[in-house]
């Protein structure tokens, strides 16, 4: 779990290891890169394994995580979404924490074509859209 998440929320348990942004975990011969992607929570983290990105609640094929809980922030979510767009190859397979409409394992290029949050380039427009109050559809949209 990210060190940010552990400290901010006060998580404590035996064998809990705090991870840093860009830290690399090696398990046998598998390398996992940690990407700090706050927004949904203070210390949200994505994990990159080869051409697969496990995004948790940062990014879904259809949207992004809510930004209404303690430690969440739509401005940080915008920055995290931009980071994924800029740092991850379009051929990378996206595996979110939840699937609503599309099956997990779409490429980032496919997700970009279906996800309005990846299309919004203006931070204020992003924040206003993410935080709108008249949203009576699925919570990620």
Classify residue 14 as exposed, middle or buried by CB count within 10 Å of its CB (0-12, 13-18, 19+).
Answer: exposed
Q: How many Å apart are CA 87 and CA 53, to the nearest integer?
A: 11
Mean pLDDT of the chain: 94
Topology (CATH level 3) of domain 21-130: Metallo-beta-lactamase; Chain A (3.60.15)
State whether residue 87 is helix, strand or coil: helix
Closest by CA to 72, choosing from 101, 111, 31, 43, is: 43
> Above pLDDT 70, what percent of the chain?
95
Q: How many Å apart are CA 2 and CA 32, to the nearest integer?
A: 13
pLDDT, residue 101, reads 87
pLDDT band at 38 (very low <50, low <70, confident <90, very high): very high
Residue 11: pLDDT above 90?
yes
Q: How many Å apart are CA 134 and CA 136, to the nearest integer?
A: 6
Q: How many Å apart are CA 84 and CA 74, to the nearest integer?
A: 15
């Amino acid at each position: 779990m990210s060190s940010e998440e552990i400290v901010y929320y006060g998580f404590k348990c035996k064998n809990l290891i705090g991870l840093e942004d860009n830290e690399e975990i090696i398990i046998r011969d598998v390398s996992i890169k940690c990407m700090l992607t706050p927004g949904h929570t203070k210390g949200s983290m994505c994990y990159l394994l080869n051409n697969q990105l496990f995004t948790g609640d940062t990014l879904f094929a259809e949207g992004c995580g809510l930004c209404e809980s303690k430690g969440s922030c739509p401005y940080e979510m915008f920055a995290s979404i931009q980071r994924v767009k800029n740092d991850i190859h379009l051929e990378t397979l996206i595996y979110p924490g939840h699937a609503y409409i599309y099956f997990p394992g779409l490429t980032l290029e496919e997700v970009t074509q279906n996800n309005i949050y990846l299309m919004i380039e203006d931070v204020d427009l992003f924040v206003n859209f993410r935080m709108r109050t008249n949203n009576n559809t699925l919570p990620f949209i």
